Amino acid sequence: MRKPRDFDAELKELEDKARELKNRKVQQLGELVIATGADQLSTDELAGALVAIAETKDTSNREAWAKRGVMFFDSRSRRAAPTPERNRRSAPAQPGSAQSPASGTGSQ
């Protein structure tokens, strides 16, 4: 006979992981707001803009915004890429390094 599974422990582990992912999502959204300079807007302005975007059904507008977003991230990664390239031997794996400088410079 097999050992019975501890469903309560497995559920708790899944809940903890879901909570961690939710916290990471909130943190990344905050970093995105700062990196784009949207932290300069009031809370009402930012919320209003996000609501308007979420309600937009016009696919051409959404595609244009998506292209602009891709260009934003491409320009950020190109500006941050030379730093890890120079320090390749001393720090081979720095996946978060491209985001950290971007979030710090966006609010200035």
Classify residue 100: in a domain, yes or no: no
pLDDT tens digits along 22-66: 999 999 999 999 999 999 999 999 999 999 999 999 999 999 999
Contact 100, 35 (CB under 8 A): no
pLDDT band for position 3 (50/70/90)?
confident
The model's pLDDT over 68-104, given as tens digits with 9 standing for 90+, comes to: 999 999 998 777 655 544 444 444 444 444 444 444 4
39 found inside a domain: yes
User: Does residue 61 form part of some domain?
Assistant: yes
Q: Which domain holds residue 23?
A: 7-81
Full-prediction pTM beyond 0.75? no
